Amino acid sequence: MEHPITNKFTATFIFFILVLLFLRTESTQPPFSCDSSNPNTSSFPFCNAALPISQRVNDLVSRLTVDEKILQLVNGAPEIPRLGISAYEWWSEGLHGISRHGKGTLFNGTIKAATQFPQIILTASSFDENLWYRIAQAIGREARAVYNAGQLKGITLWAPNINILRDPRWGRGQETPGEDPMMVGKYGVAYVRGLQGDSFEGGKLKDGHLQTSACCKHFIAQDMDNWHNFSRYTFDAQVLKQDLADSYEPPFKNCVEQGKASSVMCAYNLVNGIPNCANFDLLTTTARGKWGLQGYIVSDCDAVEKMYTEQHYAKEPEDAVAATLKAGMDVNCGSHLKKYTKSALEKQKVKESDVDRALHNLFSVRMRLGLFNGDPSKLEYGDISAAEVCSQEHRALAVEAARSGSVLLKNSNRLLPLSKMKTTSLAVIGPKANDSEVLLGNYEGYSCKNVTLFQGLQGYVANTMYHPGCDFINCTSPAIDEAVNIAKKADYVVLVMGLDQTLEREKFDRTELGLPGMQEKLITAIAEAASKPVILVLMCGGPVDVTFAKDNQKIGGILWVGYPGEGGAAALAQILFGEHNPGGRSPVTWYPKEFNKVPMNDMRMRPESSSGYPGRTYRFYNGPKVFEFGYGLSYTNYSYTFTSVSKNQLLFKNPKINKATENGSVLNIAVSDVGPEVCNNAMITVKVAVKNQGEMAGKHPVLLFLKHSNTVDEVPRKTLIGFKSVNLEAGANTHVTFDVKPCEHFTRANRDGTLVIDEGKHFLLVGDQEYPIPVSL
């Protein structure tokens, strides 16, 4: 007979184990609503997946009390137990991999990390839309996997950042796809389609269901965080209608219209006196009305509160509630709407119908994500497991992305690639060369595997030495003598220099454009002492002025690697030792230090000859450059030939020709006056022959530009109108076809913000080849 104390202990132990198992099950269960096993809620019409989402949402919202409604207007939406509605966290980040930032992601369970792809500015340099799409696909599937594991409290990722890189000093320039509006827009479309589970061409999500929700941000004209006395929280950006129409708006238009993004984030700043989150014309008339946004609009975090506390646009807290809800914003990242919507209703500053409108948009997205259809493990995307997170496929894609984006800026006397067999020793010098965290940039997560650039190169040359050169990236006290001694002992020297998140990041813009501290002095001293020309590897998001290195014969190679992500070490080694032929091309203009004199708060894109204002980005900037937009070398050479252009001239007959009212401008016609039929008939098919004339296979972006013969300030100096990436074996050739749409690609905005086509001779440009296309009105 067993002792009663033993029986009691056994029973207690079993109970304890069962409790642990229950808690573990609870903690790994993803949040969802409409549990079919709950008889109290399963009969609600909003839980019936067979009904249209609009009908389900109407039913749900009608059942909520005012207090329940208000609590759903912030990013941390609580559960509603009586209706079986789960809590939901809207704020998660996925800029270049599942991020540890935001409030929705927890790396505290079975999943401890996620694939960290290169920071966006580097990925963009590949000019490869398919690569962009595949990366977003991987992020979207990893997000679902993390959600299915119960470690993601919402599957709305607030990315991509599609503000153009208007000014090289912007601390968040690293997050963007560069300075060209068309290219940035195409990146946004590819990212949104990949993340949301759409096909590359679009159109797969006809039923509106989403794998993950993407958010196009920051709408609009937010490209300065904290420069001198200007803060993003209070900055009133004075933006011309002209610049708004052909520089600031196009990426967002494409992201919503073509990408079918399910969210837009309104930015902190004001534009022409009105906060973005309180701008009805921007949010409702344009984003929802003209572009057809189907989804929700979220404020940047605490943007609503700052309208009252810092901008003083709202006289009372309730005025900020009213202004944003009436403008078309749906959810407040922050707590302002939770605190003040009830009193705004009581003061009749806002109507309950305004709240209901917002809730319709919010619950519609949650339903499109399948979160009101019962147990997600039994639904579409429920089989995406933790095995996909940090999978070999995704990690290989991260290396491919880092390789494809890296830009070779200089290669004197074909110094690169190095020979793996003949390189006897290597010196790797730089304060961040043996740091893996710097590779990730901002909005990062936890890498699947951490490998530093130094460690990556060690795998290729056994005798690889390291010295930081400086204690910190700002390099105020370089150890020049020690670094020089290391360099003298090596066959080749790789200098890893540039910036990090202490010098460019969110809330922190740069105040100068050169390398920080005494980096330049350190580089020059080492180059002078080394036995062979040195290789300079630049790690930075925004461009830096390295004219000194460009002109120094003892610096034989310059390679820009952005912030290359967790695959950066492998990518760098493969490029330096010739296992990969670099083909990236710069998505930004590299400005000289003197550009720092241009006020960052001047939002004008076009130059002003009368005042000496130089303009911004390659489309308008008329000053000296360190490197051009689209510049990038290879270990081989490529040649181009226009083999076929379907039209040699364009004729637009219409009486509504605009006279040359703009000083020095040309005759033009509004696109709206041309008509869709004429526009469609005007399309030009352009075929370009591309040949790899070298001895090494390579991946190569082919960029097609358009320029006008008239060089007045109003007209872009040239404009990117198409790009395609090709892979060519040594000596091989191929043809690339571009569909040029004059009513889109030949346009610019006039001072009223109207898109027009200018009369006169236009030129198609690819490489050093030109093809004239006269336009007559």
Q: Which residues are catalytic?
A: 300
SS3 560: strand
Q: How far apart are CA 498 and CA 112, in angstroms?
A: 30
Q: How far apart are CA 772 and CA 247, in angstroms?
A: 25
> Do residues 464 and 470 make contact, with C-beta atoms less than 8 angstroms apart?
no
For the chain, how far is it from start to end, CA to CA, in angstroms?
106
Q: How far apart are CA 311 and CA 301, in angstroms?
A: 15
Strand order in the sheet with 698-708: 650-651, 769-776, 760-766, 698-708, 719-728
CB burial of 129-165 (b: ≥16 within 10 Å; e: otherwise) equals bebbbbbbbbbbbbbbbbbbbbbbbbbbbbbbbbbbb
User: Closest by alpha carbon to 86, among 147, 21, 18?
Assistant: 147
Q: How far apart are CA 585 and CA 124, in angstroms?
A: 9
| Cα dihedral 333/273/309/360 (nearest 10) | -30
Backbone angles phi, psi at 384, to 5 degrees: -75, 115
| CB neighbours of residue 474 within 10 Å | 16
Please give the DSSP secondary-structure letter assigned to residue 79.
P
Q: Which contiguous run of DSSP H or E holds residue 668?
A: strand 668-670
Residue 646 β-bridge partners: none
Extract the tokens encoding 445.
């997560």
Contacts of 736 (CB under 8 A, 6+ apart): 687, 688, 690, 702, 724, 726
Tally the residues of the chain: 777
> Do residues 710 and 666 make contact, with C-beta atoms less than 8 angstroms apart?
yes
> Do residues 653 and 674 make contact, with C-beta atoms less than 8 angstroms apart?
no
Q: How far apart are CA 715 and CA 708, in angstroms?
A: 8
Q: How far apart are CA 276 and CA 304, in angstroms?
A: 10
